[in-house]
Amino acid sequence: MNDLYQRDCLRLLDFNSKELKKIIFLAQKLKQNKKNHQEIPLLKRKNIALIFEKESTRTRCSFEVAAFDQGANVTYLGPGSTHLGKKESIQDTAKVLGRLYDGIQYRGHCHKTIETLAKYSQVPVWNGLTEKFHPTQLLADLLTIKEIFPNKKFHEIKCAYVGDTRNNMGNSLLEAASLTGLDLRLVSPKECWPDKKLFRLCQEKYKNKKGKITCTENILTGVKNVDFIYTDVWVSMGEPEEIWEKRIELLSAYQVNASMLNLTNNNKVKVLHCLPALHDQKTIIGQSILKKYGFENGMEITDDIFQKHEQIIFEQAENRLHTIKAILVSSLLKTIDF
């Protein structure tokens, strides 16, 4: 029996290192099969519910295309389209959906909600982003890193995550590093460092690995000799608009730009971004926020750096599909040939 069968994915620490490796390996195989037009639909007659309380492009489309490729059906439940938590308790909705569907994806405001869905639905529940974690993004990132350095062990790869390091991406990167041994530096002002309890837990789990996890305010120490610089938006979905001013004050020195890349001392340094990115003024938010605060050339990442590294950034986005497919297949099939 496949030991990932019926398993939830609420956060990366739901898996151990070996299981995480298996998922990445399966994603690699599924990607290859799709590219070679050899994909076998293994999820025929499976039904999947997709609950989205927040907006999404990559995550929603990846779940849908992964399901369609594998022969499964999906129901999209967008903001305000169910009774969840409003007219019906999360427990009751979980029990109903669990009787109708084989698995449930949740993207929303509150990590507690997804824990309740998982507790009461009796089917696998997958986290498509909460304020705390974004595990399926990290699966794509790990696959992307592995594709760039196929012969390196994770502890031989150095990554600096720069910006709001206590957000769902910072937390998930920490968990990813603790499981894989990725040498991770969280680079931001102290105020933006992750929750101490989570940091300690990840360090504990990291103990036996050869790299390390560190937090630093110092940009030079943080990015020196790294293979990757990873960043994300400074204000996440669900945070109030008024927070921009304070966040910009805190993080403007941590913008990913040409000077920061020079500090890495590595002319082959790669840049990662989970997207969406505020790198130009071609969006409504880009126009209002960038103009308002006088950022001509991007916010968390400058447009020139984004353009230069977009090949990898968009590969990361594509890899959402292959890794989410691996999560669906591994949790919905009793037996599977890894």
Q: Which residues contact 321 (CB under 8 A, 6 or more apart)?
A: 61, 62, 65, 66
Under rule CB under 6 A, residue 171 binds ligand NVA: no
Tokens 């293979």, residue located: 227
> Per rule CB under 6 A, is residue 169 in the interface with ligand NVA?
yes
**Interaction between residue 202 and ligand NVA (CB under 6 A):** no
Query: Which of 237, 250, 285, 336 is close enough to bind ligand NVA by CB under 6 A?
Result: 237
Report, in Å, the least distance between residue 181 CB and ligand NVA.
24
Residue 236 found at the interface with ligand NVA (CB under 6 A): yes
- Residue closer to ligand CP (CB basis): 59 or 302: 59
Whether the Cβ atoms of residue 157 and residue 141 lie closer than 8 Å to each other: no
What dihedral do alpha carbons 262, 263, 268, 273 form, nearest 10°?
-100
Minimal distance, residue 56 CB to ligand NVA, in Å: 8
What's at 276, amino acid-wise? P
Length of the chain: 338
- Tell the burial category of 219 from Cβ atoms under 10 Å away from its Cβ (0-12, 13-18, 19+): middle
Which of the residues 98 through 137 are near ligand NVA (CB under 6 A)?
Answer: 129, 134
CA 53 to CA 41: how far, in whole Å?
29
CB of 92 to ligand NVA, least distance (A): 28
CB closer to ligand CP out of 275 and 336: 275
Residue found under tokens 């920490």 = 174
Q: Which is nearer to ligand NVA, 88 or 239 (CB)?
A: 239
Residue 27 interface partner, choices ligand NVA, ligand CP, none, CB cut-off 5-8 Å depending on type: none
Distance CA 91, CA 83 (A): 12
Region of 142-150, 233-241, 290-298, 301-309 interacting with ligand NVA (CB under 6 A) = 233-241
Q: Residues 149, 31: contact at Cβ < 8 Å?
A: no
Nearer to ligand NVA, 22 or 60 (CB): 60
